[in-house]
Amino acid sequence: MNLESLYQEIILDHYKHPRGRELLAAPLGAAHHVNPTCGDELTVQVAVDSDGRLMIGYEGQGCSISQASASVMSELVTGLAPGQSEVIRQAFLDMMRAKGTGEPDEDVLGDAVAFAGVAKFPARVKCALLAWMALQDAEIQSGLLTQQSKDGDS
Ligand code: ZN
């Protein structure tokens, strides 16, 4: 199996078996993002558990890339300290902007490296980014992330 089809397998697996796909009982912040060009919709919620670790809730509908990306995002950032999610989010943004030319860091990105193949298709990049943009807005709304860090990537 080549890398391209391995990546497709990972995305399809997250699409068919989304990890942690449910809403939180008591979110600290939430954001609803839409990607009108594809018709994707996603609500992402954040909270922290009793140890101060991130909890993620989400639900949505749309293409396999947008929904698989939400599943991967939830799996990657759940249990992190607030703020650590930004490191992964930034690595993901860098990978998508490299249009498939860079070397994604699997230690940081885990299953999210599967979206490196998507980066070559500009029309699908927004699908892959939707979950991460919604996560950032939800974190800002919850007060877990300051607006200042948002200015850095626009
Ligand atoms: Zn889409």
Helix (H, G, I), strand (E, B) or coil at 43: strand
What whole-number distance in Å separates Cα of residue 49 and Cα of residue 43? 20
What whole-number distance in Å separates Cα of residue 115 and Cα of residue 29? 26
* pLDDT < 50: residue spans in the chain: 152-154
Q: Look up the pTM and report it.
A: 0.92
pLDDT (tens digit per residue) in 83-95: 899 999 999 999 9
**8 alpha carbon – ligand 1 mean position (Å):** 15
pLDDT of 100: 66
**41 alpha carbon – ligand 1 mean position (Å):** 9
**24 alpha carbon – ligand 1 mean position (Å):** 24
pLDDT (tens digit per residue) in 92-108: 999 999 876 778 889 99
Angle in degrees, CA 109, 146, 83, rounded to 5? 30
Could you identify the residue written with the tokens 């101060």?
A: 52
Beta bridge partners of 34: 41
Domains annotated on the chain, with CATH = 3-144 (3.90.1010.10)
Query: Which residues, chain by chain, have CB under 5 Å from ion ligand 1?
Result: 38, 40, 63, 66, 127
**45 alpha carbon – ligand 1 mean position (Å):** 20
Q: Cα dist. 54→71, 119, 144 in Å?
A: 15, 27, 9
